[in-house]
Structure 1
Amino acid sequence: MGYWLRARPLCLGPLVRRESFLMSRSLKVLLIDSDPARATQVLNPLAERGYEVHRARDAREGLERIYRDKPDLVLLTRDLPDLDGLDVCAALKNDLLLRHLPVFVFETGALLEAELAARESGADDCLSYPVDPEVLDGKIQQTFLRGVMGVNRHPVTGLPGFNAVYQKVQETIQADRPFAVCFLDVRNFRHYNRRYGYAKGDDVLRLTAQVVSCALQSRGRELDFLGHPGADDFIFITDPEDLEGLLAEILRQFDSSMIPLYEPADVRRGYFYWVDRSGKTVRSGLLFLSIAAITDESERPAHVAGLLEQGAELLALAKKSRKSAWVRERRRAGKGGYRPASGRTIQESSLFPPEEDHTGLFQEILRTRSVRLVFQPIVYLETGGVFGYEALLRGPQGTYFESPVTLFSMARQMERAHELDLVSLRSLLQGADSLPAGARVFFNVSPESLFSPLFRELCRGMGKMLDPGRVVLEVTRKRRILDFRRFRESLSFFRELGIRLALDDAQAGTLSLQTLLELLPDYVKTDLSVTRDIQKDPAKQKVFRRFLDFCERNRLDLIAEGVESHPEKQYLLEAGARLAQGFFFARPGPLAG
């Protein structure tokens, strides 16, 4: 935690000469353009000037290369075969992990009008075809010189480093608006490196950044900032509204996301062993996330150093917990300066309960199949008629696993999510006679179940109880798909049976966009963060229109999820949406009759 105590002024470093900057290493440039002649005209002069150049032919391949190859700069055209280039640019700039990546947009039309549209999507620059190699080279130099002198990045996560974090915190506490500054520390990280190696340790850092980024993006807040000042320390800045819900979600997602990074035996024990430099075997607990949150809705602290020191003090308190935990303290102006408003709120993650208390209960639920399904209708916006139902799994009433959050968290922790999906699907098929005739049934499934022979066999024989053409397998975007080629191959099995695919939780950002382009599902369900108060928020309206345009272009059905008010419903209807789901229409419950 030393980074929070070394509060130092922003260091811009020495001025960097143009020649020496590019000589330090070859910049990697990715061009996304389907036209080979234009690509040659752009890339050949750059290669001659020492750039490392790559090309993607469409948006899907481009996003895949961005994740895999990590270019320093992206050049793209608007007229891509599968998506408007401005939508790709906007998705990159909405992604907290990729928004720092410079993007230049190439246009073939009137430059002034095109530049306004490109800037609105977040592009760093806009040029017209044919491209002048000297002008392009100069703009690249200017962009990277500005970046080198003004900001630093963490080499593993690519997030803003200490200097940028320090500056952002200073700007935030000087601004006239409420904020929450949250300090994060990955506990037992050094021990994990000794047990699993530094490469796996880098995976922990990247996954931590992804967890926090996804949680922030799901709420779509204007103030959001995520930085990585060094080692296992992170910081994010956001709006204080519903902060405790956000922190609890981050802890849950962190704990469940880390499970695949351990050996299964270590997860079952709840600890692992590592060998120190003297050769002694040492026992260590699993990785846990500690968060210290400071909010200020009144007068601002005078200097960032004081805030950093308080963050370190609060983190020390959070780290006393034996689980992932967050600590929150509100700062209020008093006679002698700032003081806690009402003490400190401390909350632990409940994902890792004592094994003897809950593991046995979970295994009993799987053995006896003591789960129940509730159903929420998906309706036609114009008429209110029912299009289909989403089947939602619940555990036994009155137990620890009644909530689907604890139920699925334990399933992932024990690597038995596919077994829970089997129990859920069997329950759906056994009650198929009660389903309204002709209505589609959306069934949530974890990605790993699509590779399970038992799950496939059950789907192959479902025709005796339920027409496969009525079944839609709903895959959530929150479980990131790492190998799209294998996943597409697995989907072909289910599509041959007549079963359809839905992508759940679609929102702004490259994860949703890449998944859509790779899988082209039959249905796209927008995340409730897009729908909530959409009638008031132009940014959410823009995201929704992009999804609607994508679905219309590819002949997919869009379902607006999370509708809770008449104004939301009315805006979606006027925007051209056809299907919706949410509490405004009906809460999940048993089927009538």
Structure 2
Amino acid sequence: MEKPSEKILIVDDESSIRKIISFQLERSGYETISASNGREGVEAARRNSPDLILLDLMMPEMDGHQVVEALKADYLTSQIPIIILTAKFAKSDRMAGLSAGVNDYLTKPFELAELLVRIRNVLDWSKKQRSANPLTGLPGNVTIEEQLEKVIRTGEQFSVVYVDLDNFKAYNDYYGYNQGDKAIRELARILIDGKKQIGCGDEFVGHIGGDDFLYIAPPAIADAIGHWVIDEFAKMRTNLIRPDDLRKGHIEVRGRTGEITRYPLLSVTLAIVSNEDCEIDHVAKVGDLASEVKVFGKSIPGSVLVKDRRIEKSEPAIATGEETESAS
């Protein structure tokens, strides 16, 4: 089992507590930095960018509340999670700290096992927060790679489905960035709804960036979610495209030099890669296979669900309200 390698800053004016916590955390695989008062703690945080701060509340020069205020006011340290270690259990102190952005409290004396669990929980939460896409709130690339590595390690059958919008740049230029963001959020909502409606609870949905998403599911469920996405996207698309453009079946975008270019309407391509009949032993192979399938899928007009043609023929993917074709 791999040990954690995160860096933790311990800020406490009692030398014995610093040494005990530092010793135990290093035994558990963490890197530690120590500071003996609040002012040193703020400087150490700015200088070392720790992954987590364990902060005593009652200290000379700067108490814990003042340290939190200084850290949250500085862009470089404002996102570092903080666990307060304190002998004070007053509700007013807890409320003040939580309101200022403290992530957790632990009252002295505490059990080492509880401290380690709280540290792991806060670090995991922080990692997910940093990875999450700000537009959709879905997990980003760090978590996506972890999930891919996880399903590859299990050796069980899985499908990875790459999802992205076709002709999105032209749509964004024509309708504006706000409408483009709305299209991305709506696609995210459809993917999440598909997971809830069809999945069994273990499926994963992530946002790679821009208009690119993926989801991971058992092969049969992945296919079913894919058809759901195409059908729901066709229904939702009427809220994203003006009626006159829907009637024309295209949009006309004026370029920088004044030329008019005609583009197809917004659609969605889903590219499936699976380890059903093809060995996938590392994350890079997933991306390589998906790139080939996506190129093929985007050569087909309309919304489409395509699979790696080395695996099997794709089933028809017919979406209500727009012309699509099946791919194989």
Instruction: State TM-score, norm by structure 1.
Output: 0.36
Partner of 1:166: 145
Maintained 8 Å contact 1:178/1:298:
no
Q: Percent identity?
A: 23
Residues 208/350 of structure 1: CA separation in 2 closer, same or farther (3 Å cut): closer
- 2-structure distance, mates of 1:21, 1:206: 32
1:30-109 → structure 2 map (5 Å cutoff): 43-47=95-99, 50-51=100-101
SS in 1 for 2:223: helix
Q: Is residue 239 of structure 1 aligned with residue 218 of structure 2?
A: yes
Partner of 1:265: 244
1:478-489 → structure 2 map (5 Å cutoff): none
Partner of 1:200: 179
Q: Is residue 153 of structure 1 aligned with residue 132 of structure 2?
A: yes
CA deviation string 1:450-483 (max 9, x = no partner): xxxxxxxxxxxxxxxxxxxxxxxxxxxxxxxxxx
SS in 1 for 2:252: strand
Maintained 8 Å contact 2:234/2:322:
no
Q: Is residue 177 of structure 1 aligned with residue 177 of structure 2?
A: no
1:474-553 → structure 2 map (5 Å cutoff): none
Q: How big is the shift at 1:186?
A: 0.7
Instruction: In structure 1, give the amino acid aligned to 2:318.
Output: S
Q: Is residue 324 of structure 1 aligned with residue 303 of structure 2?
A: yes
Partner of 1:352: 321
Partner of 2:254: 275
- 1-structure distance, mates of 2:178, 2:119: 32
Maintained 8 Å contact 1:154/1:228:
yes
Partner of 2:188: 209
CA deviation string 1:125-163 (max 9, x = no partner): 9x9xxx97xx9xxx9987554444566111211111112
Q: How big is the shift at 1:39?
A: 9.7
- 2-structure distance, mates of 1:295, 1:261: 32
Task: Please tell me the root mean square deviation across aligned C-alpha atoms, in Å.
Answer: 3.6
Residues 314/203 of structure 1: CA separation in 2 closer, same or farther (3 Å cut): same
Partner of 1:466: none
Maintained 8 Å contact 1:221/1:239:
no
Report which stretch shifted further, 260-269 or 305-314.
Answer: 260-269
SS in 1 for 2:198: coil
- 2-structure distance, mates of 1:15, 1:180: 37
Q: How many residues align?
A: 243
Q: Is residue 284 of structure 1 aligned with residue 273 of structure 2?
A: no
Q: How big is the shift at 1:218?
A: 0.8
SS in 1 for 2:200: coil
Maintained 8 Å contact 2:174/2:253:
yes
Q: How big is the shift at 1:274?
A: 2.4
Q: Is residue 305 of structure 1 aligned with residue 274 of structure 2?
A: no
Q: How big is the shift at 1:312?
A: 0.9
CA deviation string 1:81-105 (max 9, x = no partner): xxxxxxxxxxxxxxxxxxxxxxxxx
1:366-381 → structure 2 map (5 Å cutoff): none
CA deviation string 1:12-49 (max 9, x = no partner): 9974464697443878xxxxxxxxxx9988644433xx
Q: How big is the shift at 1:239?
A: 1.4
SS in 1 for 2:308: strand
Residues 154/348 of structure 1: CA separation in 2 closer, same or farther (3 Å cut): same
Q: Is residue 314 of structure 1 aligned with residue 283 of structure 2?
A: no
Q: List alignment gaps of at least 5 residues for structure 1.
A: 1-11, 28-37, 53-72, 74-124, 331-339, 355-593
- 1-structure distance, mates of 2:127, 2:95: 27
Partner of 1:293: 272
1:383-462 → structure 2 map (5 Å cutoff): none
Q: Is residue 230 of structure 1 aligned with residue 209 of structure 2?
A: yes
Instruction: In structure 1, give the amino acid aligned to 2:272.
Output: A
- 2-structure distance, mates of 1:178, 1:26: 42
SS in 2 for 1:292: strand
- 2-structure distance, mates of 1:181, 1:206: 20
SS in 2 for 1:352: coil
Q: List alignment gaps of at least 5 residues for structure 2.
A: 1-5, 8-48, 54-67, 80-89, 111-116, 324-328
Residues 349/141 of structure 1: CA separation in 2 closer, same or farther (3 Å cut): same
